[in-house]
Amino acid sequence: MSSQHGDESGLAAIPWRSSALYVVLASSLMGVMGVSLITPVLPDLRAVFTITDAQVGLVITAYTLPGVVLTPFIGLVADRVGRRRVIIPLLVLFGVAGAGISFAGSFTEVLVLRFVQGIGASALVTLAVTLIGDFYDGAQRDAVMGFNGSMLGTGAALYPLIGGALAGIRWNAPFLFFGVGVLVGVFAALTLDEPEGQQSTGTAEYLSRMRQAILLPEALAIFAAIFVIFFVFYGAVQTALPLLLSDEFGLGAGRIGVVLAMVAAASAGVSSQYGRISQWRSAPELVALGFVAYGTSLFGIWLAPSPLFIGAALLLFGVGFGIVMPSIDTAIVTLVSGRLRAGMMGMRTSMLRLGQTLGPVSFTFLAEAGFATTTAGYRVLLVASGAVVLAAGVAGYLLLRH
Each residue's pLDDT tens digit, 95-140: 999 999 999 989 999 999 999 999 999 889 889 988 988 888 877 8
Query: In the chain, which stretches have pLDDT less than 70?
Result: 1-12, 196-202, 338, 402
The confidence score (pLDDT) of residue 35 equals 87
Q: Is 109 helix (H, G, I), strand (E, B) or coil?
A: helix
Please state the φ and ψ torsions of residue 4, each to the nearest 5 degrees.
-150, 120
Task: Name the CA radius of gyration of the chain, rounded.
Answer: 20
Q: Can you give the residue ranges of every domain in the chain?
A: 18-401
**Beta bridge pairs of residue 4:** 138
The pLDDT value recorded for residue 15 is 83
pLDDT value of residue 1 = 44
Question: Contact at 8 Å (CB) between 149 and 23?
Answer: no
pLDDT tens digit string along 341-378? Answer: 778 888 887 888 889 889 988 999 999 888 989 999 99
pLDDT digits (tens, 9 = 90+) for 135-158: 888 778 878 887 887 787 778 778
Residues 371 and 400: their CA atoms lie apart, in Å, by 38
pTM: 0.72
Q: What are phi and psi of 50, to 5 degrees?
A: 55, 65
Residue count of the chain, please give it.
402
* CA angle 227–119–87, rounded 5-degree value: 100
Query: What is residue 71's predicted lDDT score, i.e. its pLDDT?
Result: 82
Please name which of 352, 354, 353, 345 lies closest in space to residue 72, comparing C-alpha atoms: 345
Q: What is d(CA 302, CA 300) in angstroms, rounded to the nearest whole number? A: 5
Report the C-alpha gap between 367 and 369 in whole angstroms.
6
- Among 319, 265, 59, 61, residue whose Cα is nearest residue 156: 265
Tell me the angle at which helices 19-36 and 180-191 cross, rounded to the nearest 10 degrees.
160
Could you say which of 3.40.50.720, 1.20.1250.20, 3.30.2010.10, 3.20.20.70 is the CATH number of the domain covering 18-401? Answer: 1.20.1250.20
Can you give 32-76 as a three-state secondary structure string?
Answer: HHHHHCCHHHHHHHHHHHCCCHHHHHHHHHHHHHHHHHHHHHHHH
Amino acid present at 81: V
